[in-house]
Amino acid sequence: MSVISEFHESWLLQSLDALDVSVPDLGQARTTTFSTPFPVRRQLVLSLLDEINERYGSVQSLFASRRRPSEFMLLNAYCLRSDPQLRPWFEEAPSTSVGLWPTYDSSKLEQHVQRMNDPGILSLGLHDRAISKLPDHLQERIFAILSDRGISDRESTKRVLGSTAALSS
């Protein structure tokens, strides 16, 4: 997908800078979707970590520096510079993930909750603050979908989301 938002572009620029990657035309750059979790090949992650360790000593040092890359955009920057065989990560393809994030308005959140019923959805990212923005009936629907799919019962889901909310407050 194209880099379509300012904060994603900022993360990509910071990540390109962190790995000293030059992209001739950022407007033409393609990146993976921003769905989480996002499956990647183990070797891709290990190669990126090797480079970060070589440049910065550790991942922790990079993230403690003045740079503000993101994990996703570091992977994208690495792929944009690296072996062309990594290009399949940049194919246009329908998303198999649903993410519920607090930056989404209620209409978009409701659309994403609807998509959770699709059997083709393989992964789900839930942000505790996004869930708390939803009306009770949609929250209950999320709990029911997770339970019906055998992922988590209602009480466990509420407990986990409550625990993560406590961490972010």
Q: Which of 73, 59, 85 is nearest to 30 (CA)?
A: 73
Tokens of 52: 């970060």
Q: How far apart are CA 157 and CA 169, in angstroms?
A: 18
- Residue 110 sits in the same domain as residue 81: no
Query: Which helix (H) or strand (E) element contains residue 100?
Result: strand 97-100
Pair 86, 107 in one domain: no
Q: Which residue among 49, 74, 90 closes a domain?
A: 90
Length in residues, the chain = 169
Domain span at residue 75 reads 6-90
Residue 69 lies in a domain: yes
pLDDT band at 155 (very low <50, low <70, confident <90, very high): very high
Query: pLDDT tens for residues 137-150?
Result: 989 999 999 999 88
Q: Global pTM?
A: 0.59
pLDDT tens digits, one per residue of 82-107? 765 556 565 566 778 888 888 888 88
Residue 4 scores a pLDDT above 60: no
The verdict on 69 and 125 lying in the same domain is: no
Q: Are residues 139 and 73 in the same domain?
A: no
% of residues, the chain, pLDDT over 90: 24
1 pLDDT tier (thresholds 50, 70, 90)? very low
pLDDT of residue 79: 85
pLDDT tens, residue by residue, 43-87: 888 999 999 999 999 999 999 988 889 888 898 888 888 765 556
**Do residues 16 and 84 share a domain?**
yes
Does one domain contain both 67 and 108?
A: no
Which residues contact residue 37 at a Cβ distance below 8 angstroms, ignoring those fewer than 6 apart?
A: 97, 123, 125
Mean pLDDT of 116-127: 85
- pLDDT (0 to 100) of residue 27: 72
> Residue 1: inside a domain, yes or no?
no
